């Protein structure tokens, strides 16, 4: 008998067993590092899939300021694919204290699963109804209770190359008819009417679908469709999407469908800035990069509201993210306290003016936005005014149920390709929407007052 071998075997086997036991324990353990002050530490995962510039700014200019107050500390982790990571962690009973989702429909699912807590009492405690726009807290409801706070209010407008317009004597359109006529004029001048592309982000289709629905059929019709009062096969809806198909088939988006499908965002923006393309229907997020392209090209940009059928000023509302409190958080009261800081007008002003983030639906005093680009300040002001006056429309990623949303932006390409008719497309949308509506999977839609 080789006793040395036996001794080694015993040691190895013992170590293995210990390792196995420890790895099993480690897999379920949650490590919560102690803070410098020894007080509560709130965890927060900031998504950096599209880059970390904004997240770094949030950490350096907002979270650091909060932590410097000396109370509960916020530990922000920059997390690629943040939503997928959050979703997985929550399902496993863990996840950050501060739960960030990509929109109300996702928060609604978390609420239905009991993974986030109701915020009604907290909202009353901090008087959030006085801070937030009335429609916005309605968006965070699931059933009768408030579960999420909408953040990053977005809208879409018609950007135009001001230098190019002035050179050619063109006037920005206010109605859809004017926009179609101008597109023909621009095209005849050898310029691409719209710098649009979806090679890197195929859901970009939904920007245009939403804009044409809201600005031609009108928000009231879309509200009726979203609440099941009229079907998506309504002739008004079909008529609203026909001009979009016309723009695509005329090759007015980036010069043709094949170019629309293969041009990168950077190339499209560059063409726009250099005057190779005249206009761009895009969200407020474009402003963060607009100056980079236009400064390089030595030209100027500006914006007007997206033209509508009758020339009325309508802004579609979009929510970029929502904030909630993890049901498994040890620090729910502390997290609520942080929310009160984060969504205060002063903090939001910092996020907008310094980080270039779209604001939460709170009223930010004009003096707090000093230094902000006048064009961005004008959008914030006009959007708030329009929303207060009920002149707001519905972006697909905020108000539409997920399957319907994906169907709308994916299958529209078959209409553009001539594979299916507009009626067939909308009949498919209606079938899917009816299923989701019946199952209660549609996000909340605030009543139009």
- Find the helix or strand (DSSP H, E) in which 178 lies: helix 176-188
Which of 103, 402, 443, 444 contacts another protein by CB under 8 A?
402
Residue 427 CB coordination number (10 Å): 14
The three-point CA angle 87-92-95 to 5° equals: 55
Residues 274-313 close enough to bind another protein by CB under 8 A: none
* Cβ-count burial 340-357 (b if 16+ within 10 Å, e if not): bbbbbbebbbbbbbebbb
Q: Applying CB under 8 A, which part among 63-71, 112-120, 152-160, 174-182 lies near another protein?
A: 112-120
Which residue is it, tokens 């904030």?
323
Among positive and negative, which fits the CA dihedral 415, 222, 148, 401? negative
Cβ proximity to another protein, 24 vs 311, nearer residue = 24
Stretch that binds another protein, among 7-15, 30-38, 215-223, 231-239 (CB under 8 A): 7-15
For residue 44, the cross-strand partners are 76, 98
Q: Which residue lies nearer to another protein by CB, 20 or 229? A: 20
- Termini Cα distance of the chain: 90
Q: Kindly write out the interface string for residues 21-60 of this chain, putting x where it contacts another protein by CB under 8 A and - elsewhere.
A: --xx--x---------------------------------
Whose Cβ is closer to another protein: residue 84's or residue 171's?
A: 84
Beta bridge partners of 41: 73
Round to whole Å and give the CA distance between 367 and 384: 16
Give the position of tokens 């004597």: 169
Q: Does 190 bind another protein (CB under 8 A)?
A: no
Of 43-51, 113-121, 222-230, 283-291, the segment contacting another protein by CB under 8 A is 113-121
Q: Is 90 in the site for another protein (CB under 8 A)?
A: yes
State the DSSP code for 235: H
**In the complex, least distance from residue 365 CB atom to another protein, rounded to whole angstroms:** 38
Q: Which residues bind another protein (CB under 8 A)?
A: 1, 6, 9-10, 13, 16-17, 19-20, 23-24, 27, 84, 87, 90-91, 105-106, 109-110, 112-115, 198-199, 202, 256-262, 264, 267, 402-403, 406, 410-411, 413-414, 416-417, 419, 441
């Amino acid at each position: 008998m080789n006793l040395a071998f036996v001794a080694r075997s015993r040691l190895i086997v013992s170590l293995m067993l210990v390792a196995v036991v420890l790895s099993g324990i480690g897999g379920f353990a949650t490590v919560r590092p102690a803070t410098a002050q020894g007080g509560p530490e709130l965890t927060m995962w900031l998504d950096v899939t599209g880059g970390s510039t904004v997240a770094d700014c949030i950490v350096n200019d907002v979270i650091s300021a909060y932590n410097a107050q000396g109370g509960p500390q916020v530990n922000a982790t920059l997390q690629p694919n943040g939503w997928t990571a959050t979703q997985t962690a929550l399902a496993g009973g863990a996840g950050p204290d501060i739960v960030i989702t990509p929109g109300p429909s996702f928060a609604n699912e978390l609420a239905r699963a009991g993974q986030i807590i109701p915020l009604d009492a907290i909202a009353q405690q901090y008087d959030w109804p006085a801070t937030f726009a009335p429609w916005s807290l309605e968006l965070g409801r699931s059933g009768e209770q408030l579960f999420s706070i909408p953040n990053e209010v977005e809208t879409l407008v018609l950007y135009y190359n001001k230098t190019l317009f002035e050179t050619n004597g063109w006037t920005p359109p206010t109605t859809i008819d004017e926009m179609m006529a101008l597109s023909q004029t621009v095209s005849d001048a050898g310029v691409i009417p719209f710098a649009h592309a979806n090679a890197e982000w195929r859901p970009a289709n939904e920007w245009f679908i939403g804009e044409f629905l809201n600005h031609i059929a009108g928000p009231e019709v879309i509200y009726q469709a979203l609440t099941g009062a009229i079907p998506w096969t309504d002739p008004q809806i079909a008529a609203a999407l026909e001009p979009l198909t016309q723009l695509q088939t005329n090759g007015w988006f980036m010069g043709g469908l094949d170019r629309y499908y293969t041009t990168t965002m950077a190339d499209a923006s560059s063409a726009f800035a250099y005057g190779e393309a005249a206009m761009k229907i895009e969200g407020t997020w474009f402003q963060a990069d607009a100056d980079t392209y236009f400064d390089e090209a030595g030209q100027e940009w500006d914006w007007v509201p997206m033209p509508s059928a009758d020339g009325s000023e309508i802004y579609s509302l979009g929510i970029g993210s929502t904030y909630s409190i993890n049901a498994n958080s040890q620090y729910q009261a502390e997290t609520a306290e942080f929310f009160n800081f984060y969504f205060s007008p002063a903090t939001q002003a910092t996020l907008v003016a310094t980080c270039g983030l779209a604001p939460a639906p709170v009223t930010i005093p004009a003096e707090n936005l000093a230094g902000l680009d006048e064009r961005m300040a004008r959008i914030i002001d006009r959007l708030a005014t329009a929303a207060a006056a009920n002149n707001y429309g519905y972006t697909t990623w905020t108000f539409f149920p997920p399957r319907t949303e994906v169907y709308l932006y994916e299958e529209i390409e078959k209409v553009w390709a001539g594979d299916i008719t507009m009626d067939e497309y909308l009949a498919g949308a209606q079938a899917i929407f009816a299923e989701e509506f019946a199952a209660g999977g549609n996000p909340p839609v605030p009543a139009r007052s």
